[in-house]
Amino acid sequence: MNPVEGYPALYIENEKMLVIADLHIGIEYEFWEKGINMGMKTDKIIEDVKEVISKVGARKLFILGDLKHSIPSSPRTEVREVERFIREVSQEVDIMLVPGNHDGNIENLVSGNIEILPSHGVVMDSIGFVHGHRWPHEDVMLANTLVVAHTHPTFSLQDSFGYKFIERCWVIAKPNLEDLESRYQDVNIQKIIVVPAFNQLCGGVCVNEEGFIGVVDRIVSKRDIEIFLLDGTYLGVLNR
Per DSSP bridges, beta strands 164-173 and 17-20 are: unpaired
**Over 90: is that where the pLDDT of 69 sits?**
no
**Over 90: is that where the pLDDT of 1 sits?**
no
At 140, the amino acid letter reads V
**Over 70: is that where the pLDDT of 33 sits?**
no
**Over 80: is that where the pLDDT of 43 sits?**
yes
pLDDT tens column, 208-221: 999 999 999 999 99
pLDDT tens column, 161-196: 888 889 999 999 999 999 999 999 999 999 999 999
Q: What DSSP designation does 195 have? A: P
CATH of the domain at 132: 3.60.21
Count: domains in the chain: 1
Q: What DSSP designation does 48 have? A: H
Reduce the DSSP state of residue 140 to 3 states and report it: helix
pLDDT confidence bin for 13, thresholds 50/70/90: very high
Q: How many Å is the Cα radius of gyration of the chain?
A: 17
Q: Which pLDDT does position 24 carry in this prediction? A: 94
Q: By residue range, what is the domain housing residue 180?
A: 2-238
* Phi, psi (rounded to 5 degrees) for 144: -80, -40
* Phi, psi (rounded to 5 degrees) for 141: -70, -10
**Over 70: is that where the pLDDT of 29 sits?**
no
Q: What is the mean pLDDT of the chain?
A: 92
Q: Which pLDDT does position 185 carry in this prediction? A: 94
Q: Which pLDDT does position 84 carry in this prediction? A: 92
**Over 70: is that where the pLDDT of 65 sits?**
yes
pLDDT confidence bin for 101, thresholds 50/70/90: very high
Reduce the DSSP state of residue 37 to 3 states and report it: coil
Q: What DSSP designation does 110 have? A: S
Q: How far apart are CA 169 and CA 150, in angstroms?
A: 13
**Over 70: is that where the pLDDT of 31 sits?**
no
